[in-house]
Amino acid sequence: MSTSFTLHATDGRARTGVISTPRGDIRTPAFMPVGTAGTVKAMLPGSVRATGADILLGNTYHLMLRPTAERVHRLGGLHKFMNWDRPILTDSGGFQVMSLADLRKLTEHGVTFKSHIDGSKHEITPERSMEIQRLLGSDIVMCFDECPALPATDEAVADSMRLSMRWAERSKLAFGDRPGHMLFGIQQGGVTEELRAESARALTGIGFDGYAIGGLAVGEGQEAMFGVLDYAPEMLPADKPRYLMGVGKPDDIVGAVKRGVDMMDCVLPSRSGRTGQAFTRHGVVNIKNARHQDDPRPLDEACTCPACRDYSRAYLHHVFRSHEMISGMLLTWHNLHYFQEIMQGIRDAIAAGTFADWEAAFHAGRAAGDIDPL
Ligand SMILES: [Zn+2]
């Protein structure tokens, strides 16, 4: 009933391996679909698994407000509640309190806020976050942290990072000894190398099962994010998984893996699927465009997902325009399938020592653009 991380191969700074948990293995680099409120929207859990996902992400903030962590616990935990028996990672609630809740008040002790759903008052502290994630039954638990909105002064970023490091220590203490479950620390420090280094030293001093790179993908842009990723992953222990939170677009994922990241999560494939955007080998396709209305060809002739295997662009265009639910279902499936195909391609290429070639082909396919209209 223990957990482990084994690296199988590296190619440059890119790594491939496996995180073993009692609920199953997670192949890395891993992309985690987001199941915010106990569901990856528009997908059955079995379908999410069929796309190749080894692990899902659940959101502490949403679940604590509705249906509440205590209710999920009484009903047998999140895995049983949502019918997903493989690993689940939960975030700490910190980031979404900052982005969604009303009337936040931040102190050394924690954060109080009003629910964006019904205005009720709540508090999250490091100790409460650990309790909620334990009640949910999360396999990979995240430390409670604070993520300042960028741009911010160096002083504000430093103060926030040091608060997060004190909260990391309290999180570790409150998490306790839970065989079969992992606790990840979260590096902060904005886009300042010395602060990132200070944060990494503080976290490794406490000691975690894995390390996240937090505070990125919050609007700083890809160039600034890659700038941080040029040094931040290497500051974290090589023998533990490194998780870049909230990333990203396909080219963000590839660039992050190249710089030593092992895990990522993002709502993009599912959210875009519901707004008519498909990610393909040839870049983004907007299925709502009129050019698709008479097109009998599949979205991507090489894709084996149900949307591409069984339907035409004309049909996908029609159901999107008609606001039919199957539109979000099919495009979400395709997008999740495509993201997992990227991850499999990356893992195979790293194992074979051909990541640079794979990356060149990935960018060439996107540069070529979508197939010509009929
Ligand atoms: Zn497809």
- How does pLDDT run across 21-50, given as a tens digit for each residue? 999 999 999 999 999 999 999 999 999 999
Q: Give the separation between CA 319 and CA 323, rounded to whole angstroms.
A: 6
For residues 14 and 49, membership in a common domain is answered with yes
Q: Give the separation between CA 24 and CA 27, rounded to whole angstroms.
A: 10
* 324: its two tokens: 């039919």
Number of domains in the chain: 2
pLDDT, residue 152, reads 87
* pTM recorded for the entire structure: 0.97
pLDDT, residue 197, reads 98
**Mean pLDDT to the nearest integer, 110-114:** 94
For residues 24 and 106, membership in a common domain is answered with yes
For residues 308 and 362, membership in a common domain is answered with yes
Do 70 and 135 contact (CB within 8 A), yes or no? Answer: yes
pLDDT, residue 298, reads 98
For residues 34 and 176, membership in a common domain is answered with yes
For residues 24 and 163, membership in a common domain is answered with yes
Catalytic residue among 54, 91, 262, 370: 91
CA–centroid distance, 333 to ligand 1, in Å, is 7
**Residue 272 assigned to a binding site:** no
**Mean pLDDT to the nearest integer, 208-222:** 94
Please say which residue of 266, 299, 329 terminates a domain: 266
**Residue 102 assigned to a binding site:** no
| Residues in CB range of 361: below 8 A, 6 or more apart | none
Q: Which H/E stretch holds residue 355?
A: helix 355-368
CA 314 to chain centroid? 32
In a domain, 373, yes or no: no
For residues 194 and 327, membership in a common domain is answered with no
Residue among 248, 250, 251, 270 at smallest CA distance from 333 = 270
No. of helices (H) and no. of strands (E), the chain: 15, 16
Is 265 noted as a catalytic residue in this protein?
yes
Over the chain, what is the mean pLDDT?
96
Is 262 noted as a catalytic residue in this protein?
no
For residues 262 and 277, membership in a common domain is answered with no
Q: Give the separation between CA 362 and CA 88, rounded to whole angstroms.
A: 29
In a domain, 96, yes or no: yes
**180 pLDDT exceeds 80?**
yes
**Residue 188 assigned to a binding site:** yes
Cβ neighbour number for residue 149 with a 10 Å cutoff: 12
Catalytic residue among 11, 209, 262, 265: 265
Kindly tell me the sign of the dihedral angle through the C-alpha atoms of 13, 14, 16, 22. Answer: positive
Domain that holds residue 17: 4-266
pLDDT, residue 100, reads 84
In a domain, 299, yes or no: yes
Please say which residue of 207, 240, 266 terminates a domain: 266
**76 pLDDT exceeds 90?**
yes
CATH of the domain at 207: 3.20.20.105
In a domain, 374, yes or no: no
For residues 10 and 89, membership in a common domain is answered with yes
Q: Give the separation between CA 156 and CA 134, rounded to whole angstroms.
A: 31
**Residue 308 assigned to a binding site:** yes
In a domain, 288, yes or no: yes
For residues 247 and 284, membership in a common domain is answered with no
Please say which residue of 245, 266, 287 terminates a domain: 266
CA 316 to chain centroid? 27
